[in-house]
Structure 1
Amino acid sequence: MLSSFNITFLGTASAQPTSTRNHSSLALRLGSEVWLFDCGESTQRQIQASKGIRMGKIRKVFITHTHGDHIFGLLPLLASCMNGAGGTIDGVDDPRTNSNEVECSEPFEIYGPAGTRAFVRGGLRWTHTLLGSKYMVHELLFNTDPDEGEEKTIPLHASEILGRNIRQNSDGNWTDIFHNPLLSVSAAPILHSVPCVGYVVQEAPIPGKMDIMLYKPHILRNKAPMSLLSKLQAGEMVTLPDGTIMEPPPRKPGRKIVILGDTYDPSPIATLGEDADVLIHEATNAYLSGIDPTTKEDESEELVENRTKSRGHSTPQMAGTFARRIRAKRLVLNHFSARYRGDDDVSDEARYIMEAIGNLAKQAYGSDKVTCARDCMSLEVDKPS
């Protein structure tokens, strides 16, 4: 079981950053490792401004779609995380390009839809960026995508290991694109103005609560060490000297987080996302008549929703409705229009507006467990009780 499961929002703006909201990115701290989901412009600066996130701990980046406000920060982040350098002069050695150092580290992994690999490869090539270790890009291909995209026209970068092309399953999802004994990541398409995916991070089942009195009499009767309880708690089966077999307590589901990119309809990810501990859903625009002074007289709730959908985005009510549909335990709203300030921890006006946005989502969700994200905000995903 992971010691920590922490989400830090590095950027909560939509298309345009503001003085209080940066472009889209969030960091997921999983024990000692950090994964990023999207990487908008200035993400590395936001990392430096955040508490508890170290650049050197980032090992994976998951891109939801290739719009610039979600990916333009990826190349500078790679250079910072991987000891990057500009072009070198022939005959002058740079230790960062030493192949022995490259081989001793695990490759930095990037996941994203078609186009991600070409963006990274071309960007590194045309900026003459050298990296001190290896990276690989795994692309989540829709069934309509060709086996090779624009990257075939760009020579492989010196630090690139060719990643996987991961095709959709028969149900349209990408299941277990990453997994280890503690975690798995799956993905599904979500509807936006361009190909876009949402990610589901699932912790492996964790040990259930142990009733020591069910085991203690058998251990004492066999004069076996009480340390066997720790093996049982870890999920191991124990056989005592008299042949008694003690089964570990039943395991219970681990924590689940659903991280959506931009979307006007995330229905395809609903099954994967059911019973999520946290759903992170965009809420780009809201109808706030009498609350937001920028609301126009000719606007209505229906007009704002239709206009928001036409641009591939969601309102707070749409986010709340989807959270109720998948029975999410907590909803976090994200990706706000530039008209909604992100300093609601200090500004009365911003707090008033963001509370109104949260209330719209709560009404549709049927729960008070709604949070409007702001930059550098962190939340811990609690262990199941």
Structure 2
Amino acid sequence: MSNINITFLGTASAQPSHTRNHSSLALRLNGDVWLFDCGEGTQHQIQKSTVKMGRISKVFITHTHGDHIFGLLPLLASRLNGAGGMLDEALDPRATGIFDSKPLEIYGPSGTRAYVRTGLLYTHTLLSGPYVVHELRLPDDLPDTITSLPRHTAELPGRDIQQVEGVWPEIYKDPTFSVSAAPILHSVPSPIPGKIDPKQYVPHLKRTGTPLSVMRQLQQGESVKLSDGTVLQGPSKLLGDTCDPSPIVGLAMHADVLIHEATNAHLPEIDPDTKPDDTDSVVEERSKSRGHSTPQMAACFATHVHARKLVLNHFSSRYAGDYDPTTHHGDPRLAAKETMEAIRGLAQAHFDGPIVCARDFMTFDVQHSHDVQ
């Protein structure tokens, strides 16, 4: 059986705290390391952990919010022995043997390639090894807008991976492991107008006599089925943060370990920031309006997909993570323990399996797993 180990390098949402770093998770597979998200400070977290920088072979970015990607460029430079310089002074990489080694693979949504390329270009970062960026494309994604920028000397051409029936099946696959993805929902406080190009939709609407009023549905990210059977899909995003993970149900069924965000919780007896009118339902609606989940929402989804174990992650900076119940080193903060136990209790009311609240540097082995999804 393959050895699979999970190490949390960062478990905070939005802002880091003195006990939680920005989002990142390391998956160790028979010696190799795959990172899922790479928030600011991830390489510092790696140095404090048992994860080996030189073992990192793949990085999967769930979405391009800063708390999930701001650490990618520094990590890329460290992993590939980067140095400052002038790119126009760099030698021909094929003459230096830079492509003799296997490239570091980066997977992410549209925009990931542009982020990496522009960041390396304008910081004049030279790399001693190759990398490649594969993008998971949505039907409404605009064509690549960075073709005018020169490819970095260490960059290899990446794939543009298209959806198949609403998911990206097996974006990576080898004889032992596979990785699949789906565009789960992560909303913002209010829709940002003007983010869809009417030219993409209006011809289809006029051709089938569909009222132009459905543009509002498309703007909200909903799908519209036309009279000829064509389905138009409004803008959506691939995200790890979520208020509705339902599109990924098929991939998550019977998961050995389900890792789900639980950004906000209603803890009136513990959390001093609790508002007088707060209730469980009020906090849930507030979380949803910001594209996030509560422990109860995470637990209900875990029950729905028959997960064997639930790990709650991506906590508000209000919830400290410096209590380790497995050791007696240092001085455990009883307040942190009480908060995490209360959060776990909220979830336990909706899920019968084991529940763990993640903290930075927590690590555990995954048992009886066959595919990583």
TM-score of the superposition, structure 2-length normalised?
0.81
Contact 1:112/1:140 (<8 A) preserved: yes
Aligned to 2:226: none
CA distances 1:118-161 after superposition (whole Å, capped 9, x unpaired): 00000000010011111110000111112x33322322111111
CA distance in 2, matches of 1:335, 1:189: 18
User: Could you tell me how far 1:379 is from its partner in structure 2?
Assistant: 1.1
User: Aligned with 1:299: secondary structure?
Assistant: coil
Contact 2:4/2:27 (<8 A) preserved: yes
Aligned to 2:23: 24
Contact 1:34/1:58 (<8 A) preserved: yes
Gaps of 5+ in 1: 199-260
CA distance in 2, matches of 1:26, 1:366: 25
User: Could you tell me how far 1:97 is from its partner in structure 2?
Assistant: 6.1
Percent identity, aligned pairs only?
Answer: 59
Gaps of 5+ in 2: 189-235, 325-331
CA distances 1:251-291 after superposition (whole Å, capped 9, x unpaired): xxxxxxxxxx1000000000111000001100000001112
Alignment of 1:95-114 (within 5 A): 99-114=95-110
Shift in CA distance, 89/343, structure 1 to aligned 2, threshold 3 Å: closer
User: Could you tell me how far 1:100 is from its partner in structure 2?
Assistant: 4.0
Question: After TM superposition, what 4+ stretches of structure 1 lie above 6 angstroms from structure 2?
Answer: none
Which of the pair has more CA radius of gyration?
A: 1
1:34 partnered with 2:33: yes
Alignment of 1:154-303 (within 5 A): 154-169=149-164, 171-193=165-187, 195-197=236-238, 261-303=240-282
Shift in CA distance, 33/293, structure 1 to aligned 2, threshold 3 Å: same
User: Could you tell me how far 1:384 is from its partner in structure 2?
Assistant: 5.9
TM-score of the superposition, structure 1-length normalised?
0.79
User: Aligned with 2:348: secondary structure?
Assistant: helix
CA distance in 2, matches of 1:89, 1:190: 38
1:64 partnered with 2:49: no
CA distances 1:37-91 after superposition (whole Å, capped 9, x unpaired): 000000000000012x110000100000000000000000000000111115988
Aligned to 1:240: none
CA distance in 2, matches of 1:31, 1:149: 35
1:316 partnered with 2:295: yes
CA distance in 2, matches of 1:295, 1:372: 20
CA distance in 1, matches of 2:321, 2:304: 28
Shift in CA distance, 293/130, structure 1 to aligned 2, threshold 3 Å: same
CA distance in 1, matches of 2:333, 2:88: 55
* Alignment match of 1:364 (pick from 347, 350, 368): 350
Aligned to 1:305: 284
Q: CA RMSD in A?
A: 1.9
Aligned to 2:43: 44
